[in-house]
Amino acid sequence: MAASGRLSIAEVQRRVSAVHHGTDPEEQLRFYDGWAPDYEQDVTMLQYQAPRLAASCLASGFQGSVADALVLDVACGTGLVAQELQAKGFRCFHGLDGSQGMLDHARRKGLYQELKQCMLGQEALPAASGFYDAVLIVGALSEGQVPTSVIPELLRVTKPGGFLCLTTRNNSSNLRYKNQMRQLLDDLEQRGLWGKVKVQEVERWERATSEQKAEGDSDYISGVIYLYRKKAP
Ligand SMILES: C[S@@+](CC[C@H](N)C(=O)[O-])C[C@H]1O[C@@H](n2cnc3c(N)ncnc32)[C@H](O)[C@@H]1O
Q: In this predicted model, what pLDDT tens digit does every residue of 118-149 receive, in sequence order? A: 999 999 999 999 999 999 999 999 998 999 99
Judged against a pLDDT cut of 90, whether residue 197 lies above it is answered with yes
Question: Confidence band (pLDDT; 50, 70, 90) for 3?
Answer: very low
Is the beta carbon of 140 within 6 A of some atom in ligand 1? yes
Give the whole-angstrom CA distance, residue 219 versus residue 233: 45
Q: What is the DSSP letter of 170?
A: -
User: Domain map of the chain by residue range?
Assistant: 9-230
Is the CB of 95 inside a 6 Å radius of any atom of ligand 1?
no
What's the gap in Å between 99 CA and the centre of ligand 1? 7
CA–CA gap between residue 20 and residue 173 (Å, rounded): 9
Distance from C-alpha of 73 to C-alpha of 101, rounded to nearest angstrom: 16
Interatomic CA distance for residues 86 and 231, integer angstroms? 26
* Rounded average pLDDT over 148-161: 98
Take atom 17 of ligand 1 and give the residue whose Cα is closest. 146
Q: Considering only CA atoms, which residue is closest to atom 22 of ligand 1?
A: 98
Look at residue 21 in the predicted model and tell me its pLDDT.
64
3-state secondary structure labels for all residues of 179-206: HHHHHHHHHHHHCCCEEEEEEEEEEEEE
Please work out, in degrees rounded to the nearest 5, the angle formed at the alpha carbon of residue 148 by the alpha carbons of 79 and 95. 20
Closest protein CA for atom 3 of ligand 1 = 139
Pocket test for ligand 1, best of 27, 80, 100, 102 (most atoms within 8 A of CB): 102
CATH 3.90.550.10 fits 9-230, yes or no: no
Q: For residue 2, what pLDDT is reported?
A: 44
Ligand 1 pocket test, pick from 46, 74, 99 with the greatest ligand atom count within 8 Å of Cβ, gives 99
How many angstroms separate the alpha carbon of residue 154 from the centre of ligand 1?
Answer: 15
92 pLDDT exceeds 90?
A: yes
Mean pLDDT of the chain: 92
128-137, 159-168, 213-222, range with the lowest pLDDT: 213-222
Ligand 1: centre distance to CA 145 (Å): 7
Q: Is 119 in the pocket of ligand 1 (CB under 6 A)?
A: yes
